[in-house]
């Protein structure tokens, strides 16, 4: 295929690998290269034909890349890399620190406008597809409540917190939505749910030799901000089980809008995801949005955007005529 969209990846962790795999499933795209802070010789891609470059060389590629997909972490990588890349490329990222999105938007909007690029921030599933469904729910059913449930999913932040407890050798944490709470929401009861009602937390922990299991369990379940506000169960397992059964990164969840219309009729809108791999799915969303960003840029649009600003037809490789015929 000629005129394929030329894509670059910055940062090669779980998400970067997922983007590489998603581009391989997109015949209208071509991966130009991966940019990393590590020594390029030490970064092994899935496709060894794709070159790896030092991140210091990105400026050499402004004419070679149509859209740069940033795959760094939201905590410290994107706040630094986003504003810089906004001055050089059209960009897509997955910035997911919800509370800081307005400031982050401003920090990439100005350089994107000055350099004449489009910057789509906070794509992915939450923020991203879940945000769109929260918006649709509110717009269509103004009298109602929106509920977001996450899981069953492996939470990286909570797993790190478990591993920092003295006496813990290894471990993972799953966030699990409460079935009872979901059923109450689906039934249109509009329940008021506390944090503890919506999710439970389950930890699988490998102890250091000689560690006191009860002390470890207590340290985990009483940890403020992470576990104290939830019903948390701790399971102790051996290292082989941790490796064999807890290596994948599943996730997912539900956005449910429950409302009333007319003469007290219940209306429930529900969107759900069940993901075998969180980073691979998130990456697939980023790649579809890279297509939209390329199109917006070609139409002369500039500045920061979120998923709220992008028409859904722009995500598809199909033409508007094809979409009207096949999917309406
Ligand atoms: P990783 O920790 O796997 O990767 C983050 C960065 O760390 C990479 O870009 C890479 O940069 C560096 N890195 C990766 N592996 C190594 C290594 N072995 N040694 C040294 N450095 C390494 O994070 P994820 O890819 O899992 O997640 C990235 C972000 O995605 C998350 O922080 C989150 O913000 C976002 N996310 C968003 C979602 C959404 O729905 N919006 C959902 C899921 C995730 P470099 O190559 O430059 O060294």
Ligand 1 atom with least separation from CA of 126:
40
Q: Do residue 36 and residue 106 come from a single domain? A: yes
Q: Do residue 75 and residue 110 come from a single domain? A: yes
Residue 95 inside a domain? The answer is yes
Q: What is the CATH number of the domain that holds 220?
A: 3.30.360.10
Pocket-forming residues, ligand 1, beta carbon under 6 Å: 11-16, 36-38, 71-74, 77, 94, 96, 124-128, 278-279, 282
Residue 90 inside a domain? The answer is yes
Residue 325 inside a domain? The answer is no
Q: What is the CATH number of the domain that holds 79?
A: 3.40.50.720
The structure's pTM equals 0.94
| DSSP structure string for 245-275 | HS-S--EEEEEEEEEEETTTEEEEEEEEEEE
List per-block mean pLDDT (blocks of 10 residues) for the chain, which spans 328 residues.
Answer: 90 97 98 98 94 98 98 95 98 95 98 98 98 98 97 91 97 96 94 95 97 98 94 97 94 97 96 96 98 98 98 98 98
Residue 175 inside a domain? The answer is yes
Ligand 1 atom with least separation from CA of 16:
25
Q: What is the pLDDT of residue 2?
A: 65
Ligand 1, atom 34: closest residue by C-alpha: 74
Q: Do residue 16 and residue 88 come from a single domain? A: yes
Q: Separation of 12 CA from ligand 1 center, angstroms?
A: 7
Q: Do residue 233 and residue 287 come from a single domain? A: no
Q: What domain range includes position 291? A: 5-126+279-320
Q: What is the pLDDT of residue 28?
A: 98
Q: What is the pLDDT of residue 156?
A: 83
Q: Do residue 122 and residue 184 come from a single domain? A: no
Q: Do residue 297 and residue 237 come from a single domain? A: no
Residue 91 inside a domain? The answer is yes
Q: What is the CA angle 236-241-246, rounded to 5?
A: 90
Q: Separation of 302 CA from ligand 1 center, angstroms?
A: 27
| pLDDT tens figures, 135-190 | 999 999 999 999 999 999 998 889 999 999 999 999 999 999 999 999 999 999 99
Q: Separation of 324 CA from ligand 1 center, angstroms?
A: 37
| pLDDT tens figures, 115-138 | 999 999 999 999 999 999 999 999
Could you tell me which of 123, 126, 128, 132 has the C-alpha nearest to residue 149? 126
Confidence check on the interface: ipTM exceeds 0.85, yes or no: yes
Which of 209, 230, 249 finishes a domain? Answer: 249
């Amino acid at each position: 295929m000629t005129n394929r969209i030329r894509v670059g990846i910055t940062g090669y962790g779980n998400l970067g690998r997922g983007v590489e795999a998603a581009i391989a499933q997109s015949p209208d795209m071509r991966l130009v290269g991966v940019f990393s802070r590590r020594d390029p010789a030490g970064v092994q891609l899935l496709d060894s034909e794709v070159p790896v470059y030092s991140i210091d060389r990105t400026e050499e590629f402004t004419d070679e890349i149509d859209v740069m997909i940033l795959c760094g972490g939201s905590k410290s990588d994107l706040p630094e890399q986003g504003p810089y890349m906004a001055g050089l490329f059209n960009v897509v990222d997955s910035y997911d620190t919800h509370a800081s999105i307005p400031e982050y938007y401003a920090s990439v909007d100005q350089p994107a406008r000055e350099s004449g690029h489009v910057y789509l921030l906070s794509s992915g599933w939450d923020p991203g597809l879940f945000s769109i469904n929260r918006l649709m729910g509110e717009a269509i059913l103004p009298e109602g409540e929106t509920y977001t449930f996450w899981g069953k999913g492996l939470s990286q932040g909570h797993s790190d917190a478990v591993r920092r407890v003295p006496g813990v050798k290894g471990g993972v944490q799953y966030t699990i939505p409460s079935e009872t709470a979901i059923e109450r929401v689906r039934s249109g009861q509009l329940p008021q749910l506390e944090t503890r009602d919506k999710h439970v937390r389950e930890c699988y922990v490998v102890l250091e030799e000689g560690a006191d299991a009860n002390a470890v369990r207590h340290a985990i379940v009483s940890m403020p901000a992470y576990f104290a506000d939830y019903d948390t169960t701790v399971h102790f397992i051996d290292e082989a089980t941790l490796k064999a059964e807890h290596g994948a990164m599943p996730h997912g969840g539900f956005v449910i809008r429950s409302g009333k219309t007319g003469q007290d009729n219940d209306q429930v809108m529900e969107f759900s995801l069940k993901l075998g791999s969180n980073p691979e799915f998130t990456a697939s969303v980023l790649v579809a949005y890279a297509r939209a960003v390329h199109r917006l840029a070609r139409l002369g649009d500039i500045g920061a955007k979120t998923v709220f600003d992008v028409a859904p037809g722009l995500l598809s490789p199909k033409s508007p005529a094809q979409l009207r015929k096949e999917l309406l």
